[in-house]
Chain A
Amino acid sequence: MPAFLYSQPLAPLHELERYQNAHLRPGSYGASANFIGTMRDFNAGDDVQLMTLEHYPAMTQQFLDRLCEEASSKWPLVDCLIIHRFGEIKPGDPIVLTAAWSAHREDAFAACRYLIEELKARAPFWKKETTGEKERWVHDV
């Protein structure tokens, strides 16, 4: 049930296959659900050329680790996985992968959704967009 933070480009389908082959015993699960979040080239009516994703390294890692543990306590999962990018990201680049494996699809879907929704609501990441010559934080105080 690991969570990883990547500064390097993320190839989610490759990572999914690699993790599954390395850590999941064939036949031990009947359902796998995954979510991939990808950077758009538009936001709030503007073209976006680049995004910088800042995080709070130790807190972010701890938060994502706990999120995997929570999902595993709420649903009977065989395993789950989170990988999230930080640093400079270009339009079209994958930002996040959440995945859950279970015996049946209901639990896999629910856990996968829980991982991404809780991550978006509470994990300490902050997006800064470059639009034309300007930079802006996606949400500000």
Chain B
Amino acid sequence: MTIEVKFFASLREKLGMDSVRIEARPGMTVREVWDQLTERDYPVNTLCAINMDYARADDVVNDGDEVAFFPPVTGG
């Protein structure tokens, strides 16, 4: 199955990745997606989303999902 992974703000710059499409295996979690794409430990304050809803690192991804990783938000 295929998923799309996006990185934002400082994470995008540090990892040098904006958006990538990867093959994921059934039952894969958000944290395992991170581990497959990066050499870094999962930062404790990183936020993630699946299909534009906030998610947890141990949530499972599904075929066609859009997974996003981003730092703490600073809008307003």
Contact = CB atoms under 8 A, between A and B. Distances in A.
A139 B75 contact: no
Interface of A: 37, 53-56, 58-59, 62-63, 84, 95-96, 116, 119-128, 137-141
B43 A59 contact: no
Summarize B's interface: helix, strand, loop or mixed.
loop
Contacts, number: 73
Nearest to B6: A56
B26 to A, nearest CB: 25
Could you tell me the dominant secondary structure of chain A's interface residues? mixed
B52 A96 contact: no
Interface residues of B, number: 20
B52 A126 contact: no
Contacts of B8: 54, 56, 124, 126
Contact of B75 (A125, A128, A137, A140): A125
B10 A84 contact: no
Nearest to B71: A141
A128 B76 contact: no
B54 A126 contact: no
B74 A96 contact: no
B48 to A, nearest CB: 11
Nearest to A135: B13
Given A119-B76, A141-B11, A56 B52 contact: yes
Given A59-B68, A62-B52, A141-B43, A122 B73 contact: yes
B52 A140 contact: no
A126 B9 CA distance: 6
Contacts of B36: none
A84 B52 CA distance: 18
A123 B46 contact: no
Given A62-B52, A95-B76, A137-B10, 16 more contacts: A53-B75, A56-B6, A56-B8, A58-B52, A59-B68, A123-B73, A124-B8, A124-B73, A125-B75, A126-B10, A126-B74, A137-B74, A138-B74, A139-B72, A140-B10, A141-B46
